Amino acid sequence: MPELNAAVAEVTERIRQRSHDDRSAYLERLKAAADVGPVRTSLSCTNLAHAFAAAPDGDKARLKALQRPNVGIVSAYNDMLSAHQPLERFPALLKQAVREAGGTAQFAGGVPAMCDGVTQGQPGMELSLFSRDVIAMATGVALSHNTFDGGLCLGVCDKIVPGLLIGALHFGHIPFIFVPGGPMTTGVPNEEKARIRGLYAEGKVGRDALLESESKSYHGPGTCTFYGTANSNQMLMEVMGLHLPGSAFVNPNTPLRDALTIAAGHRIMEITAHGDEYTPIGRVIDERAIVNGIVGLLATGGSTNHTIHLVAIARAAGIHINWDDFDALSRVVPLLTRIYPNGQADVNHFHAAGGMGFLVRELLTAGLLHEDVMTVAGEGLDAYAREPMLADGGVAWRAGPAHSADTDVVRPVTEPFSGNGGLRVLQGNLGRAVIKVSAVKPEHRVVEAPARVFDDQQQVLAAFRAGALEGDFVCVVRGQGPRANGMPELHKLTPELGVLQSRGQRVALVTDGRMSGASGKVPAAIHLNPEYVCGGAIGRIRDGDVIRLDADAGLLEVKVPEAEWADRSSTPESSEPQYGIGREMFAAFRSLAGSAEHGAISFSPHEEVGS
């Protein structure tokens, strides 16, 4: 394999040194748990009898014998959300596959799965980020019976996959395979969808036309086909070695999808401590795998939500990363894909044009990924430069395409869309934020304009409808961080701000909240840290203050005389307790959450980590 890129090697080593103590302690805990041996041997007869009382006779005999692996299935199935509806059939397929391989599988538990697409702009979005932590804890509860030698995690979207992975990493001594559901088939073209949204924002078409367009876009089982957080999750699980190769973007309810699901059940049996290729998840996810995940995210223009989630995932494995690591890697990782909102193609088009097999091989060839990693498919990431195919009723793998079938969608490293990954850290007297510029045209990457300050996105939308957002301005939306209200996404602002930009106004967004994996053409400084309720400088901004957002220089500052700036208060006004849609139950999560840069974790230490 080619020599590893010097910057990738440097960032990896910096992470390794920074993480040394916590990673060493994590691995010691992993080893101690593994040394106990197959977990069920420590259970009493009463414990065991409870654990297999309802099992079918054949499975019960194997569970009594304590000789063969028992695999726990944890699923985010529900039949309201398109991405998770296909998972209903998976447990039966997986149980039979595990039986064929000589073991047993039990449905260990379900985890909640909420959809940001349904809750955008709604009070329920304030539960979204912390649903990740609930899912992680629910995964822990599902596995707490100490009866499993391996796990199969079924989940797809936004907070669900990070939550499942964080939970699994707390059981790092056993192997896990993540089993995806796949994207829905392609609906209305993304360009047309965006056009109708813009027309609706301007009042030029009615709600009936908007709903018709959205229904044709989100129209069947499977993940939404744009490249937001859900599909970024699927890319990450491949490039980090937790999927079977090439399984991320195979459509649901197809013969290949079912064959890959069955293959996951067969494979988990080979990588438990009973098999010949023991592959505990705590060793799969190491510093190299985390760096591979960041590189994959940057090369594909993936979701900014993962500047939060990857930090939390890494922390669960005793690894410390921060935004400086993302920024340093972004400067050397080329952008190789154009998938909506960073282009017009969807993930089905990406998959057909070369998909993950082509992408991984290109990045490996350029020395931008660590090849020498442990994966659920075996040693080495080279296995993920392959793609699956049906063969003799099962799955076989062949080399991925040598050339892109559509260079408007995915390109080789020698002809990238951009020489860098388009993710930047912004710093200045307002604090630290991140910005994704892969979909922002160069002429919009520097905005200097007066501030318009709002306390929530509804105020922004009301001002837009009233025609009060005239001229150039920087839209400041404060009080949207993890401790304030759970850090809801502000994606609902995208059409309106996009309309103003299209009219020729220079606009930008600055917020301590999230924008979403679907953030697009308007420059947005997001995840601003410290947040408003923690005394962040965003609270000192007043209407009319001139703000400079310079994505090229990595600068975010307000141009106010230093003495005046220092005298201003940043104390939030007292707010009413949050009630409705279950928000009152999450008060403890909000009070304990760390900063966005440190994963916004609510259940583990979140001290600030230096670079």
pLDDT digits (tens, 9 = 90+) for 87-132: 999 999 999 999 999 999 999 999 999 988 888 888 888 999 999 9
Residues whose CB falls within 8 Å of the CB of residue 89, separated by 6 or more in sequence, listed in order: 258
CB 535 within 8 A of CB 546: no
What's the pLDDT at 608?
Answer: 44
Distance CA 167, CA 357 (A): 28
Share of the chain above pLDDT 70, in %: 97
pLDDT at 214 over 90: no
Read off φ and ψ for residue 235, nearest 5 degrees.
Answer: -60, -45
pLDDT-based confidence at 503, cuts 50/70/90?
Answer: very high
Amino acid at 474: V
Distance CA 506, CA 403 (A): 39
CB 589 within 8 A of CB 521: no
Structure tokens belonging to residue 172: 């790092």
* Residue-level length of the chain: 611
Distance CA 359, CA 151 (A): 28
Distance CA 164, CA 110 (A): 10
What's the pLDDT at 47?
Answer: 86
Higher pLDDT, 202 or 97: 97
What's the pLDDT at 103?
Answer: 96
Q: Where are the alpha helices (DSSP H) in 44-127?
A: 45-52, 57-65, 90-100, 116-119
> Residue written as tokens 């936004």?
158
Where residue 604 falls (left for φ over 0; alpha for ψ -120 to 50; beta otherwise) is beta
**String of b and e for 446-467 (b: at least 16 CB within 10 Å)?**
bbebebbbbbbbeebbebbeee
Higher pLDDT, 81 or 38: 81
> Residue written as tokens 């697009």?
520
pLDDT at 518 over 60: no
CB 370 within 8 A of CB 381: yes
Distance CA 558, CA 554 (A): 14
Within the chain, what is the greatest distance between any pair of CA atoms?
A: 78
Distance CA 229, CA 252 (A): 19
Span between the terminal Cα atoms of the chain, in Å:
29
Lowest mean pLDDT among 11-20, 34-43, 116-125, 160-169: 34-43
What's the pLDDT at 611?
Answer: 38
Mapped to the 3 state alphabet, what secondary structure does 182-206 carry? CECCCCCCHHHHHHHHHHHHCCCCC
pLDDT-based confidence at 255, cuts 50/70/90?
Answer: very high
What's the average model confidence in pLDDT over 499-518?
89
Q: Sign of torsion, CA 599 319 13 358?
A: negative
- What are the pLDDT digits (tens) for 291-318? 999 999 999 999 999 999 999 999 999 9
Higher pLDDT, 149 or 519: 149
pLDDT at 457 over 60: yes
pLDDT-based confidence at 37, cuts 50/70/90?
Answer: low
Nearest to 325 by CA among 4, 597, 604: 597
Omega before residue 530 within 30° of 0, cis: yes
Nearest to 306 by CA among 152, 175, 143, 434: 434
Omega before residue 86 within 30° of 0, cis: no
pLDDT at 577 over 50: yes
Mapped to the 3 state alphabet, what secondary structure does 421-486 carry? CCEEEEEECCEEEEEECCCCCHHHCEEEEEEEEECCHHHHHHHHHCCCCCCCEEEEECCCCHHHHC
pTM: 0.95
Considering the chain, what is the average pLDDT of its residues? 93
Distance CA 330, CA 76 (A): 32
Distance CA 574, CA 209 (A): 41
> Residue written as tokens 């499975």?
59
3-class DSSP assignment, residue 258: helix
pLDDT at 606 over 70: no
pLDDT-based confidence at 44, cuts 50/70/90?
Answer: confident
What's the pLDDT at 519?
Answer: 61
**String of b and e for 278-312 (b: at least 16 CB within 10 Å)?**
bbbbbbbbbbbbbbbbbbbbbbbbbbbbbbbbbbb
Distance CA 550, CA 546 (A): 13
Distance CA 437, CA 342 (A): 9
3-class DSSP assignment, residue 107: strand
- What are the pLDDT digits (tens) for 548-563? 999 999 999 999 999 9
What's the pLDDT at 172?
Answer: 97
pLDDT-based confidence at 381, cuts 50/70/90?
Answer: very high
